Structure 1
Amino acid sequence: MIGLRTCIVTRVHFHRLLPRSSLYHPLTTFTHIRLRSTMSIQQPPWSLPKKESEEPVLRVYNSLTKSKNEFVPLNGRRVKWYNCGPTVYDASHMGHARNYVTQDILRRIMTDYFGYDVHFVMNITDIDDKIIIRARQNHLLETFISQTNILDQSLLTRLWNSWNDYVRTRINKGLPENEKAKEGQEKEAWAKISDMYQNREWKQDCLKRDEKFDMHYTSARRALDAINVAEAQLSAGNIDSSVAHQLIDSSKDVLVLSLDEEFKSTVTDPAISRKLAAYWEGKFFEDMARLRVRDPDTITRVTEYVPEIVSFVERIVANGYAYEAEGSVYFNTQAFDKAPNHHYAKLEPWSTGNRDLLEEGEGSLSSKTGRRSASDFALWKASKPGEPSWPSPWGQGRPGWHIECSVMASAILGDNMDIHSGGIDLAFPHHDNEMAQSEAYHECEAWVNYFLHTGHLHIEGLKMSKSLKNFITIDEILERFSARQLRLAFLTQLWNSKVDFSESLMTGEVRNLETTINNFFTTVKALVNQATGEVTASDGYHHFEQQEQELLASLYQSQAAFRDALCDSFNTPAAIDVLRDLISKTNIYVNGRGKSLNVKLVQQTAEWVGNMLRMFGLGEGEKQEIGWGQLDEAGGNINREEILMPSLRVLSSFRDNVRKLAIAKGDDALKEILALCDKLRDNDLVPLGVALDDQEDGKALVKLVPPADLIKAREEKRALAEAKAAKKAAQVEAERQKRLQKIEKGRVAPGDLFKPPNVPEGKYQSWNEEGIPLTDSEGKEISKNAVKKFQKEYAAQIKLHEEFLAYQKTGKL
């Protein structure tokens, strides 16, 4: 009655809202009852979950603090990043690989792992003292060659003069004072130098004075030999242009210095330097592509920003931090350091008195006059004869080295950036000068928030140097090792520590690690492909027992440890160890579970490992592909499993059935079939990169492996088998020879054993009827003990003689 009354009252309250025709409709009343009932029931309260642990935050080693600082971008997840690019005047080398591959790894971690939106800017220094000198000398040498048509005395005279100058200016640098060559006596001095060059201690002393002494000596020796050969050719009447050009080519290191000294003032066109820079810039990016280094988001070139550089310098002067002297403009480090909120040399304040570093930073063509302080550096350089130039308020000139990066980075990223990176060798004075002049321009306290410096590269424990003959170009190193192996080598060492690149590192740790990972992916892909090819049906077990729980826990723990490692200032060695350890645990699980393993769990683990390796730039391919990806010969991504596996499964299944039949029947015909199955596995499929691993259940595990790896493994297995067989054959032969020696002892009849020629003539005088001695050479009776010994030897000889007679009859040992 209560419920009914409620309904009626409610209907009265709402009757004005309903159409009159529906006021007493039973459905209307029922619907309204449900509405009231629903409104009276509420959801239970919900509480925000409490975190069991806090996610680690990224901390990076910051050269500005010499410690690990939490990384905090200024604008959410947007990161402004400037990386010092190369000075392009020669082939890229292993130092470039160390720096740019490492920076690429850090960039990939930031974007592909931590998910930051990075704007990565890199400059190309295409005008610089080294570029100017190299381009000018190349231009002068090319011009000289084009104007030389014959071999004559004037060419030889010029080369002799160039060689003499080279000995005095280059070779003398490494010599002690009492051995230096004097003008007009270069040949006599050279004779002594050549003799002493074989003395290791003398040579080491020279290298201490000039680390390039060995290189200079080699150039001088090559030129001298070429000049002597050319003189002989000229005497023989051979004046062909090819002989002259061969002479010039062999002597170019010597000749070009004298040409430069004489004609450098004639080379002023900026296009000449730009041509050289453009060529080596192209080669640099080709090498970076081969090393799988991503292109920068923005590339800047100095020659494209000269007007901006002039304006930038003008403002620094206006702000009171620079001064003009003799057409050049210098940054006033003392005025900057005394200004409020400014500090010169934030990275290496202890290096401000290092004159060698300061002079190296200014370049070999810089003027030594006009600066008020030794620490002041050029923002704008007045061009001298033989140097390219651009107009400015201070006269014709060109940019200083340090100002280039400040202007280009400011033009793209503004008055502040999150990250600035480069090699540690640039920290002072280049990066310190960059920051000082930029903060002087923007009148800010901090132009860079985080400075990331990659560590030095050493080759076999020594700094890379042409003079030490351990200088390796990228082209040379890629002939011996793959880009993946190089990247692995850098990943296994901290990005900001010194890297000792050695043969043992590459052929030992790196190749072993690569093999371990490759074998893991090959096995997992084979297992997944096998499971995919089978009809899915439950066997009544869920296959998620304790072993699976432990593997899944290991995956979760690895993912957490991996993040911890990368948050710890990109600790890639620790991260790689995490992946290696997880691979090991997964292999143990696979080997221990047999046919009961959970393939999906193994696949999940392998996919995560592959994703992390690809994140590091170790491969390409779809994210869900197992492995770190592979490229075909044309450089494109391929999926061999998708293309080949359907056919391979059919072929493998056919072989499985044939093998089972042959094993079960066992007669000679089926043994031949079994041999054909082995031939298919061991010979026919190997060049195709297909491996069949026979399992206990009679089904082969189909693996796709690089053919070269399979062929190598087959040859190693064959060599091992041959070595084993050879060892066994040697043992058999040794036993046969031993047996023959024993048989040969039986050639003597027992009765003749103690008679000549088997014993010395006259040793015994009489014997019994069996041939055993009775008296010795003096006629004395043989002792009883001696007779017993003879009888024992006689009995043994009877047996040996019988074996000998049997061998003669049958030929069998």
Structure 2
Amino acid sequence: MNLLRVLSRSRPSITVTANSLVYRRYASVAVAMASLKVHNSLQPGVPVPFAPIEPGKVSWYACGPTVYDKSHLGHARNYVSTDIIRRILMHYFGFKVEFVMNMTDVDDKIIIKARRQRLLELEKKKTYSKEELRALALAAFRAYAANSLPLLMGEGAKLDEANYAARRDAAYGKVLAGGTLSGDGKPGDGEAKIKMHIYNMDAAAQAMKQDAIFPGADEILLPHLDSLYKETIDTRDQTMFTDLTKGMEALFMEDMANLNVLRPDVITRVTEYVPQIVDFVERVVKKGFAYEAEGSVYFDIAAFEKTGNTYARLRPDSRNDKSLQEEGEGSLSKNLGGKRGAGDFALWKKSKAGEPFWPSPWGEGRPGWHIECSVMASDILGSRMDIHSGGIDLAFPHHDNELAQSEAYFCEHGKGEHTWVNYFLHMGHLSISGSKMSKSLKNFQTIHDALSTSYTARSMRIVFLMGKWNDGVEISPDMRAQSDNWESTVSKFFTNTKSWLAEAGVSDGVKSLSISKGKPATGLVADLEQAKKEVEAALVNSFDTPRTMLVILKLVNSTNVYLKDNKEVDLAEVEAIARWITKMVGIFGLDANATAPYDGLGWASAISANVDPKTAVQPYVAVLDKVKADVTKLSLSSEAIPALLAQDPAKEFDSIASSGSRDIEKLALPYLRAVSQIRDELRRVVSAQAPQTKKDILAITDQIRDHDLTNLGVYLDDRPDNQPSLIKFIPATELIAAREEKAAREAEKARKKEEARLAREKAEQEAKEKAKVPPEEMYRSDERYASWDEQGLPTKMKDGSDVPKSQMKSLKKLWEKQKKAHEDLKAKGGL
């Protein structure tokens, strides 16, 4: 279709109305209150109606990270999915959300890592002989193997770096080959942990062979040094712990910002709540739901249930899982005694030597893991909250224990169970090759590394949006391909729509183009209305983003097909679709440059607040000035060129800038349009120019498109029949990558062509050299034969026998071929 004609024709008929489809009100709080349902871990099964405590408002507490290491993609899965739900509640349904998140900065993992790092630092300052250092490393090597890879210890000679590899392959070869330790089933967390330990042992063995103990053997030295010296650490100085947690918290917040995750309204930290935690525990004890034993305080599950309360409401089947109970208590709690019930859990832990401590009525100690969330969430949100969220692996024992101790704290005897949380939202975890991504397993890719190599914040969000928030996500090439296709399709649609609008001379967007309310819903308008209904139905069904993503993709594809198959297209309908999709991707957090209510069109391209618009457009001005200078030097027969060179886009730019626009695409468009018009005219007149001028014009037009504008993230889409080129804004990285890929293909093509030419020349030269030999001489040097006739054909074999007739026939044929080649060469003067 002649799109320019259609756009120009359709524009005058478009009207602006306050109730246009573009401004159509999205799902409201009233709609959400009436129909929104969510998956609630407290009521497993189908989604249940969502009814917040206070209409229109949502109180939400999210379990934050334990800040002892860098955040990985598993954290991204949790917190990005949480952010998506939060944004939907706020920006789609219109709820006012109070979002609280904690930072766990006191924990067994933190204590162990900080303490071990301090001990390693001290050890490296000691003076060791070569033999002493090797002895230390060897002791650590064997201790690590005994604790983590016991099959290495075996029979016979003691384990060392020399016999390690053979023992490793014999004991754990199946795991290293991708199987299981037993040889049955699929590998899981156990195999992932074995691989992690083997990796550490491999590094240590190599370091010992090279006498490079530090840092090669650090990972095996850390637990060994801790076992030797942990009780010698003076934990009155808590900087070893706070330095670690503050640094890791800062990295976590940086990662979240890079992923476009909204900051929590309130951030709480355990170390800032210790007095409140002590008071909380005291009340639970006084109410008869906890008891002190040997300096620690434990929650009394039996007493709690005896009064009619329910324990393990989230995971009743896991309440007697000893491994989960031990994991919940932490590795430093193994020697704490005095518990009455096997499942009773610590509210307050007696601190041992080498552990941080605070004063309490029960002696020096520290908070249990679960108590922190109960105290901090209740302090900010009160005795009840709408939503509590976290990763699925926290359901038991962490969240079940939180519920029990909080409901014990707030319950009143004789009034039944207290409801502390109405809705528990658990995010599915991320897995790699069947194993949960985990810091402790060290099978993770950090968020920072992922964003530096294989993901953008947008592409990572799209991956998570294409899976249900409460389901597990397995990273796979197919999943990445689907998400990349979704992003590419939507991005191209945005780019094309903005290009068509620019070509039609529309600079004010919806103020100039909009669909009248009274217009019948047909064609693209009907498709848009249907998409809105389907998206609303998906989002009220427990935030079904996979369905929403499919609806958006379907709408873009159907719009593209419609544009291809129909000559009469109303650009306002295309614009309305693009603006609705823009709002949806904004709500999902896919555009870090956009802000609510996301009324723009396409990916936002705002310049930073501290950059002056004139400064921002200078690269585009420079391209225009360069083009004018290059074209002025040409001797052209064109009446249009002088007028095009004389035009000054500055006035149009000033008008856009004075409106307060910070959109770099809008600000740059006047200059880009001038460049494109000059280039289009050059392409129109090139065929009528003299050969050298024609060559110069083609060089200029290619330079403009493939270099000057590509480097600015602008692509000129050339079209036939003297139609003006479409100006498209595409990330410069993509355009440059495409240019380099094209150059690489052309270079490879040229290389193969040159190789073929050289091969031909070599073959021709070899044939020429071969042809120089007279046919009478070609067999005389062959040692297989003893005599020849006058033509040089063999008559006798070396043993005196006659040359076989079958062989003679072949020899004669080759002789004749050589004779012809020799004579041809002689005729050409080659001899």
> Same-fold call, TM > 0.5?
yes
Q: Answer yes or no: is 1:589 the counterpart of 2:562.
A: yes
Letter in 2 for 1:603: E
Letter in 2 for 1:60: V
Q: How do 1:174-189 residues align onto structure 2 when only pairs under 5 Å count?
A: 174-176=149-151, 179=154, 186=158, 188=159
Assess, with a 3 A threshold, how the Cα gap between structure 1 residues 760 and 703 changes in structure 2: closer, same or farther: same
Specify the alignment match of 1:14 in structure 2.
Answer: none
Give the whole-Å Cα distance in 1 for the aligned partners of 2:219 and 2:365. Answer: 29
Q: Answer yes or no: is 1:600 the counterpart of 2:572.
A: yes
Specify the alignment match of 1:447 in structure 2.
Answer: 420
Match for residue 250 of structure 2 among 282, 297, 316:
282
Specify the alignment match of 1:751 in structure 2.
Answer: none
Segment drifting more, 719-728 vs 266-275: 719-728
Q: Report if aligned partners of 2:196, 2:443 keep a CA contact under 8 Å in 1.
A: no
Give the whole-Å Cα distance in 2 for the aligned partners of 1:65 and 1:281. Answer: 33
Deviation at 1:83, TM superposition (A): 0.2
Assess, with a 3 A threshold, how the Cα gap between structure 1 residues 466 and 80 changes in structure 2: closer, same or farther: closer
Specify the alignment match of 2:322 in structure 1.
Answer: 355
Letter in 2 for 1:427: A
Q: Report if aligned partners of 2:119, 2:229 keep a CA contact under 8 Å in 1.
A: no
Secondary structure of the equivalent of 2:53? coil
Secondary structure of the equivalent of 2:493? helix
Specify the alignment match of 1:107 in structure 2.
Answer: 86
Assess, with a 3 A threshold, how the Cα gap between structure 1 residues 631 and 502 changes in structure 2: closer, same or farther: farther
Match for residue 548 of structure 2 among 566, 575, 583:
575
Q: Report if aligned partners of 2:84, 2:589 keep a CA contact under 8 Å in 1.
A: yes
Letter in 1 for 2:383: D
Q: Answer yes or no: is 1:457 the counterpart of 2:482.
A: no
Secondary structure of the equivalent of 2:452? coil
Deviations 1:154-191 (A, max 9, x none): x853662463255135445422497179xxx74x5665
Assess, with a 3 A threshold, how the Cα gap between structure 1 residues 713 and 168 changes in structure 2: closer, same or farther: closer
Segment drifting more, 285-294 vs 614-623: 614-623
Deviation at 1:286, TM superposition (A): 1.2
Deviation at 1:66, TM superposition (A): 1.0
Q: Report if aligned partners of 2:161, 2:206 keep a CA contact under 8 Å in 1.
A: no
Specify the alignment match of 2:76 in structure 1.
Answer: 97
Specify the alignment match of 2:41 in structure 1.
Answer: 63
Q: How do 1:773-812 residues align onto structure 2 when only pairs under 5 Å count?
A: none
Specify the alignment match of 1:334 in structure 2.
Answer: 302
Letter in 2 for 1:656: D
Deviations 1:341-369 (A, max 9, x none): x2100000010110000011001111442
Secondary structure of the equivalent of 2:602? coil
Assess, with a 3 A threshold, how the Cα gap between structure 1 residues 735 and 327 changes in structure 2: closer, same or farther: closer
Deviation at 1:733, TM superposition (A): 12
Secondary structure of the equivalent of 1:179? coil
Give the whole-Å Cα distance in 1 for the aligned partners of 2:581 and 2:520. Answer: 19
Specify the alignment match of 2:370 in structure 1.
Answer: 402
Match for residue 395 of structure 2 among 424, 427, 434:
427
Q: Answer yes or no: is 1:498 the counterpart of 2:472.
A: yes
Q: How do 1:550-699 residues align onto structure 2 when only pairs under 5 Å count?
A: 550-593=523-566, 596-619=568-591, 620-621=593-594, 623-630=598-605, 639-663=663-687, 669=693, 673=697, 676-698=700-722, 699=724
Deviation at 1:69, TM superposition (A): 0.5
Match for residue 315 of structure 1 among 283, 287, 291:
283
Segment drifting more, 624-633 vs 418-427: 624-633
Unaligned 5+ runs, structure 2: 1-30, 183-189, 412-416, 510-514, 612-660, 773-788, 796-802, 804-815
Specify the alignment match of 1:750 in structure 2.
Answer: none
Segment drifting more, 630-639 vs 261-270: 630-639
Match for residue 255 of structure 1 among 218, 221, 238:
221
**Bigger Rg, which one:** 1
Assess, with a 3 A threshold, how the Cα gap between structure 1 residues 72 and 468 changes in structure 2: closer, same or farther: closer
Assess, with a 3 A threshold, how the Cα gap between structure 1 residues 578 and 411 changes in structure 2: closer, same or farther: same
Secondary structure of the equivalent of 2:48? strand
Q: How do 1:23-34 residues align onto structure 2 when only pairs under 5 Å count?
A: none
Give the whole-Å Cα distance in 1 for the aligned partners of 2:272 and 2:128. Answer: 45
Deviation at 1:306, TM superposition (A): 1.0
Over the matched positions of the two proteins, sequence identity in percent amounts to: 43
Deviation at 1:435, TM superposition (A): 0.4
Deviations 1:379-410 (A, max 9, x none): 11111111121121212111111111001111
Larger RCO (CA within 8 A; separation ≥ 6): 2
Deviations 1:170-218 (A, max 9, x none): 445422497179xxx74x5665443222347546399678854444444
Give the whole-Å Cα distance in 2 for the aligned partners of 1:757 and 1:605. Answer: 91
Deviation at 1:714, TM superposition (A): 3.0
Assess, with a 3 A threshold, how the Cα gap between structure 1 residues 162 and 651 changes in structure 2: closer, same or farther: closer
Letter in 1 for 2:500: L
Letter in 2 for 1:709: E
Secondary structure of the equivalent of 1:324? strand
Deviations 1:580-630 (A, max 9, x none): 111112222333446x53222212211111111111111122633321324
Letter in 2 for 1:376: D
Assess, with a 3 A threshold, how the Cα gap between structure 1 residues 131 and 631 changes in structure 2: closer, same or farther: farther
Letter in 2 for 1:196: R
Assess, with a 3 A threshold, how the Cα gap between structure 1 residues 633 and 760 changes in structure 2: closer, same or farther: farther
Q: Report if aligned partners of 2:42, 2:314 keep a CA contact under 8 Å in 1.
A: yes
Give the whole-Å Cα distance in 1 for the aligned partners of 2:563 and 2:281. Answer: 66
Deviation at 1:757, TM superposition (A): 10
Q: Answer yes or no: is 1:195 the counterpart of 2:166.
A: yes
Match for residue 470 of structure 1 among 437, 443, 446:
443
Assess, with a 3 A threshold, how the Cα gap between structure 1 residues 543 and 429 changes in structure 2: closer, same or farther: closer
Letter in 1 for 2:219: D
Deviations 1:31-67 (A, max 9, x none): xxxxxxxxxxxxxxxxxxxxxxx98711111111113
Q: Report if aligned partners of 1:531, 1:599 keep a CA contact under 8 Å in 2.
A: no
Secondary structure of the equivalent of 2:78? helix
State the TM-score, normalized to the length of structure 2. Answer: 0.74
Deviations 1:721-740 (A, max 9, x none): 67778899999999999999
Deviation at 1:254, TM superposition (A): 3.5
Match for residue 135 of structure 2 among 148, 151, 160:
160
Q: Answer yes or no: is 1:520 the counterpart of 2:470.
A: no
Deviations 1:733-774 (A, max 9, x none): 99999999999xx99xxxxxxxx9999799xxxxxxxxxxxx
Assess, with a 3 A threshold, how the Cα gap between structure 1 residues 376 and 311 changes in structure 2: closer, same or farther: same
Deviation at 1:521, TM superposition (A): 1.3
Deviations 1:303-342 (A, max 9, x none): 11111111111111122211111111111111212222x2
Unaligned 5+ runs, structure 1: 1-53, 231-245, 537-541, 748-755, 763-776, 778-793, 795-799
Letter in 1 for 2:732: P
Specify the alignment match of 1:484 in structure 2.
Answer: 458
Q: Report if aligned partners of 1:223, 1:251 keep a CA contact under 8 Å in 2.
A: yes
Give the whole-Å Cα distance in 1 for the aligned partners of 2:356 and 2:319. Answer: 30
Deviations 1:418-449 (A, max 9, x none): 00000000000000000011011000432111
Segment drifting more, 447-456 vs 711-720: 711-720
Assess, with a 3 A threshold, how the Cα gap between structure 1 residues 177 and 720 changes in structure 2: closer, same or farther: closer
Give the whole-Å Cα distance in 1 for the aligned partners of 2:748 and 2:541. Answer: 50
Q: Report if aligned partners of 1:179, 1:189 keep a CA contact under 8 Å in 2.
A: no
Give the whole-Å Cα distance in 1 for the aligned partners of 2:155 and 2:94. Answer: 62
Equivalent pairs counted in the alignment come to 689
Specify the alignment match of 1:243 in structure 2.
Answer: none
Assess, with a 3 A threshold, how the Cα gap between structure 1 residues 543 and 617 changes in structure 2: closer, same or farther: closer
Cα RMSD of the aligned pairs, angstroms, is: 4.4
Q: Report if aligned partners of 1:517, 1:583 keep a CA contact under 8 Å in 2.
A: yes
Secondary structure of the equivalent of 2:338? coil
Secondary structure of the equivalent of 1:81? strand
